[in-house]
Amino acid sequence: QKEVEQNSGPLSVPEGAIASLNCTYSDRGSQSFFWYRQYSGKSPELIMFIYSNGDKEDGRFTAQLNKASQYVSLLIRDSQPSDSATYLCAQREDSNYQLIWGAGTKLIIKP
Amino acid sequence: DAGVTQSPTHLIKTRGQQVTLRCSPISGHKSVSWYQQVLGQGPQFIFQYYEKEERGRGNFPDRFSARQFPNYSSELNVNALLLGDSALYLCASSSDWRNQPQHFGDGTRLSIL
């Protein structure tokens, strides 16, 4: 069964530091990944997507995909208290384009 | 531009009842997907509709059904509600069937008593 796994956390990071969130996956075939941020009681909000091996940067966020090791990461630079949320990783299947979701990592940024 | 809109925002039902949830996608988006999310878990896929046809179905019982209308809005119906159906129901839209990417509405919080 195809799976996406994330450490549930919480991951505690001091304000201004780099937060590193990781996601591992079992389906080698798919190369498309999405990172969503979900505040408590709210719906997921798209942060970034990455479709190829390597790094992709958008502002304070960098997504990294390592196909050989089957993991995808999200780095948040200059972490702010407003970044405190649960971060969901999703892999899009090549066969039917459906998303396989991790359970999310809870991130806490401490002032 | 309006994002994905869902109604109602909250709903309380009792076991055995039926419920209908509604979703309007982002303007120009033709694909709507429904998810169920329980606390502490990621969204679980229920259905995807594109151009009024079912494109995918998750591992949910037949009590769950959905449809998409000519204006691309969608309804999710759940019959014979169980306590375990209590969850946040999310609707996501995308421009095509390849889900690249999906954008979510605010969700409907369904509580079963």
Q: For B29-80, what is the HEC assignment? A: CCEEEEEEECCCCCCEEEEEEECCEEEEECCCCCCEEEEECCCCCEEEEECC
Digit-coded pLDDT (tens) for A53-76: 889 999 999 999 998 899 999 999
Q: Looking at the complex, does the CB of residue A99 fall below 8 Å from at least one CB of chain B?
A: yes
pLDDT over 80 (residue A30): yes
Give the model's pLDDT for residue A31: 81
Instruction: Give the C-alpha separation, B111 to B113, whole Å.
Output: 6
Which pair of tokens denotes residue A1? Answer: 């069964």
Give the model's pLDDT for residue B25: 97
The SS3 assignment for A88 reads: strand
Q: Are A29 and A92 in contact (CB under 8 A)?
A: no
- In one-letter notation, the amino acid at residue A100 is I
Rounded mean pLDDT of A2-21?
A: 95
Report the percentage of chain A scoring pLDDT > 90. 81
Using CB atoms, pick whichever of A49, A88, A98 lies closest to residue B42: A88
- Cis bond before residue A81 (omega within 30° of 0): no
pLDDT over 70 (residue A49): yes
Query: What backbone torsions phi and psi does residue B44 show, to the nearest 5 degrees?
Result: -105, 125
**CB pairs below 8 Å between A and B: how many?**
55
Using CB atoms, pick whichever of A43, A99, A103 lies closest to residue B107: A43
Which of A99, A100, A105 would you mutate first to test chain B, the one with the most B CBs within 10 A? A99
Low-confidence ranges of chain B (pLDDT < 50): none
Rounded mean pLDDT of A21-26?
A: 95
Q: How far is CA B100 from the centre of its chain?
A: 18
Using CB atoms, pick whichever of A34, A97, A101 lies closest to residue B97: A97
Instruction: Give the C-alpha separation, A17 to B107, whole Å.
Output: 32
Q: Are B48 and B56 in contact (CB under 8 A)?
A: yes
Selected residues 31-90 of chain A with any CB under 8 Å from a CB in chain B = 32, 34, 36, 42-46, 49, 88, 90
Which pair of tokens denotes residue B94? Answer: 């995308």
Residue A83, CA distances (Å) to A12, A76, A111, B103 in order:
11, 9, 11, 19
Q: Looking at the complex, does the CB of residue B44 fall below 8 Å from at least one CB of chain A?
A: yes
List chain A residues with CB under 8 Å of B104: 36, 43-46
